[in-house]
Structure 1
Amino acid sequence: MAVEASESVLDHPAVDTEGRELLTELVSIPSVSGNETEAAEALAAFFERHDREVWIDDIGNVRAPGDDTILLTSHIDTVPGDIPVEIKDGEEGPELWGRGSVDATGPLAAMAIAAVETGASFVGVVGEESTSRGAWHLIENREAPEAIINGEPSGWDGITLGYRGLLEGTYVATSESGHTSRPDPNAIQHAMSWWERVEDVFEPDEWIPVFEQVTTKPVEFEGGISVDGLSMESTMEFQLRVPPERTPEEVRELSDAELETGTVNWTEFIPAVMTSPRSEVARLFRVAIREQGGDPRLLRKTGTADMNIYADEWGCPIVSYGPGDSNLDHTPHEHLSLAEFDHSIDVLIEVCEQLGVETGDSKHSEPTE
């Protein structure tokens, strides 16, 4: 089905540039986290056609080293969801519909084009929508670049400077089985009670922006009688988003303080990131956006991205940028304006050139594995 969709959409008159062709091809290839191989191979083939050194590393990342003045990186994987790949007429011209068109195949394809045009280093990473395994592998297997542009949808005229951090954990409780008429709380009630107390600790304040608050979200729950019938069990997976003003350690301690029954295993621990709008990279983005006729917007996002990991581990200047409306992330309505996609490529090329990226300059390139 993916091949048929790709062939028909690639023949559309709106697919009239190399960038649009690459974008459409990649969106037409299913690339849910854990199944990125086909999309990675198509992306690597694009760099090979342009005589760029490229390889797919041990974990599945597409690595195309170049001038490490700037590293252009985005993720290959998407969340699940079958959205027919097609081009529709929109208010600002043709739009490409399909899973990943916004998050983050649009930014990924724009960066691939900009990397080929300028000689900048490029990496397409896997697993961002799950464990960020591609980003962690990158941290462990290459030196830090001088600066990073992380590909996520911000709109072609927007720059994302901040993301909240993430705490993930699993709550587990057990209790003796008994008749449901008994007043003693069971394991399911213990889980519910603990979670209610955690929500009370971080109660939302309508007068404070969401970015500046801790938000709580259960994401999976299982509970009931054990297999042997002798106990009641409950297991809850949950997430806490952490603003830059609070540390993950502080949020974890406050949550643990509400624990009366059961145990919590904390499984993910990613600090928030908030970069300066006065950095040279951010300044050059503002200039490039204005040159394209846009009014630059500075954004803070309530989620978490690979940008958090790079900022914490490498500490180099970084922003997130890419075409697309992030309100469409993970929704059944995910689509990208092709005109916006084109604008984002021009902005990326201008920023790379102003940073001094030189085609063929490999003095800071990463070594081939």
Structure 2
Amino acid sequence: MRTDQNLLIKKAIGLLQELIATPSFSSEEDMTAQLLENWFHEFDIPYTRVNNNVFAFNKCFDKAKPTLLLNSHHDTVKPNGAYTKDPFDPQIIDGKLFGLGSNDAGGCLVSLIATFTYFYESENLNHNIIIAATAEEESSGGKGLNSLLSILPKIDVAIVGEPTQMNLAIAEKGLVIFDAIVNGTPSHAAHPNNNNAIYNTIEVLEWFKNYRFPKTSEVLGEVKLTVTQINGGSQHNVVPANVNLVIDVRVNDRYNNKEIADMLSREAPCELKPRSLRLNSSSIDKNHPLVSSGVALGRSTYGSPTLSDQATLSCPSLKLGPGDSTRSHTADEYIYIKEIEEGINLYIKILDGFLTN
């Protein structure tokens, strides 16, 4: 027996208001995890909590079947100084639900939880379903989704809930952050120096500005390399020994992160060290039945430039959710109530097409 959709929508909006009213910065999600536990208690669904992650299996879970993961996060960034509204006051004004985390990714999370609850008791599905409401996504911390993957059964395909206006992000760029050092000869500013690290940086910056990776992705386009930080020197009369740069590289699905690191380490005119290689790009075949089910409902496909917990998954994964990515991390963040209603209805229709054929 399936729970009434209108009831689930009403309950999901109420849960989102509770989540907004409860601060849940990355690694501080204890209280919002309790709110998620309350949902599963109310609907009599057995669940497991590990740290601040809460997950549950559908009632008819069968180890012989492949498994679909539904995942989104309940942590938030900290509110910025431009807020004009209380970030923890879940006001509804002109059809908009305001509050920190409403769009990223509370609307997605409650919509996926409602969808899981709708299918919880369904029999004869062709996939198992796991719902995982996870922590530390915004900080890429060690106690989020990545910490569950050794505990959960094998995941064959996943939907990661992030705001996509319910269109189908069939690929997502990976990320590698590099620390770079441009070396020179330290000296007193009053003396000649033909090896000034700051002047040497000009050539290095031009190299990064003009560098292009040869492989372009049909969905994600080029690898995007951006110098985002520069730091050098400590006082006016001293030429520093080096200048430090930070390089942000958004990786398409034609490369893995190690290939990117190897290429830049070999070719760049400075010392480079990657901070981590674990946040690889992700994708799902555009002809995958899950994608086809969404396309049949009129949803478009695209490649996403932003990073999510997809980066921790090794299976095919689809980024999909209500809300608009451009509102994420902005002042007076909001999501439309109608987006949550549409999100739950579309999730259910897409999964009906995928799980019952």
Equivalent residues of 2:176, 2:257 under 8 A apart: yes
Residue 234 of structure 1: CA displacement?
3.7
Post-superposition shift, 1:180? 2.7
Aligned counterpart, 1:136: 146
| C-alpha distance in 1 between matches for 2:73 and 2:351 | 19
The verdict on how the C-alpha distance between 1:222 and 1:37 changes in structure 2, with shifts beyond 3 A counting, is farther
**Which stretch has the larger CA shift, 138-147 or 229-238?**
229-238
Task: Give the Cα–Cα distance (whole angstroms) in 2 for the partners of residues 338 and 75 of structure 1.
Answer: 19
For 1:184, the aligned partner's letter is: N
- If the length of structure 1 is used for normalisation, what is the TM-score? 0.77
CA distance in structure 1 between the partners assigned to 2:278 and 2:12 by the alignment:
36
Structure 1 gap segments, 5+ residues each:
1-15, 358-369
CA change 1:28–1:20 in 2 (3 A) is same
Tell me the equivalent position of 2:161.
Answer: 151
Q: CA deviation at 1:269?
A: 4.0
Cross-structure match for 1:275 = 284
1:28, distance to aligned residue in structure 2 (A): 2.2
Map of 1:28-177 to 2, 5 A cutoff?
28-58=21-51, 60-66=52-58, 67=61, 69-82=67-80, 83=83, 84=86, 85-90=89-94, 94-119=95-120, 120-131=129-140, 133=142, 134-156=144-166, 158-172=167-181, 175-177=184-186
Distance 1:147 1:208 in 2: 22
Give the partner amino acid of 1:345: I
1:58-99 deviation digits (Å, cap 9, x = unpaired): 4x2112222474221111222222543343544xxx111222
In 2 relative to 1, CA 301–70 (structure 1 residues): closer, same or farther, beyond 3 Å?
same
Q: Once structures 1 and 2 are overlaid, which stretch shifts more, 249-258 or 183-192?
A: 183-192
Secondary structure of the structure 2 residue equivalent to 1:23: helix
Q: Return closer, same or farther for 1:256/1:115 CA change in 2, 3 Å cut-off.
A: same
Letter in 2 for 1:80: K
Among 276, 295, 299, which residue is 1:296 paired with?
299
Deviation at 1:273, TM superposition (A): 2.4
Instruction: Provide the identity percentage.
Output: 21
Q: Structure 1: which amino acid aligns with 2:77?
A: V
Matches within 5 A, 1:10-29: 17-29=10-22
Q: Displacement, 1:202?
A: 2.6
1:213-232 superposed matches below 5 A: 213-225=222-234, 232=241
SS at structure 2 position matched to 1:342: helix
The size of the alignment, in residue pairs, is: 324
1:308 alignment partner in structure 2: 311
1:350 equivalent to 2:349? Answer: yes
Give deviations 1:193-244, integer Å, cap 9, x for gaps: 434312211399xx99993112123344443349xx9964543333201122
Change (3 A) 1:171 1:279: same
CA contact (8 A) 1:164 1:304 kept: yes
Alignment match, 1:212 = 221
Partner residue, 1:320: 319
Deviations 1:314-358 (A, max 9, x none): x2x43111100111122225211111111111122233344448x
C-alpha contact 1:69 1:356 (8 A) present in aligned 2: no
C-alpha distance in 1, partners of 2:239/2:208? 29
Distance, in Å, in 2 between the alignment partners of 1:54 and 1:192 is 56
Question: Residue 3 of structure 1 aligns with which residue?
Answer: none
Residue pair 1:212, 1:245 contacting (<8 A) in 2 also: no
**2:326 aligned partner, one-letter code:** N
Is the 8 Å Cα contact of residues 187 and 193 (structure 2) preserved in structure 1? Answer: no
Letter in 1 for 2:72: S
SS of aligned partner of 1:212: coil
Query: Deviations for 1:289-322, whole angstroms, at most 9, x for unmatched residues?
Result: x3xxxx3121211122222331xx2x2x431111
Instruction: For 2:136, give the aligned amino acid.
Output: G
Output the TM-score relative to the length of structure 2: 0.79
Letter aligned with residue 223 of structure 2: V
Question: d(CA) in 1 for partners of 2:199 and 2:148?
Answer: 42
Distance in 2 of aligned mates of 1:209 and 1:196 = 27
Q: Out of 264-273 and 344-353, give the one that drifted further.
A: 264-273
The residue number in structure 2 matching 1:10 is: none
Mark the CA change 1:114 to 1:200 in structure 2 (over 3 Å): closer, same or farther: same
Is 1:170–1:267's contact at 8 Å kept on the other side of the alignment? no
- In structure 1, the residue corresponding to 2:153 is in which secondary structure? coil
Cα distance in 2 between the residues matched to 1:265 and 1:326: 27
- Residues 115, 208 of structure 1: alpha-carbon distance in 2 compared, 3 angstrom cutoff: closer
Tell me the distance in 1 between the aligned counterparts of 2:74 and 2:244: 31
CA contact (8 A) 2:178 2:272 kept: no
Q: Which secondary structure state, in structure 1, belongs to the residue aligned with residue 303 of structure 2?
A: strand
In the alignment, the residues of structure 1 paired with residue 301 and residue 239 of structure 2 have an alpha-carbon distance, to the nearest angstrom, of 56
What one-letter code is carried by the residue in structure 2 that aligns with 1:64?
A: A
Equivalent pair of 1:168/1:269 in contact (CA under 8 Å): no
- Mark the CA change 1:275 to 1:263 in structure 2 (over 3 Å): closer, same or farther: closer
> Kindly tell me: are residues 217 and 260 of structure 1, through their superposed partners in 2, closer, same or farther at Cα, counting changes over 3 Å?
closer
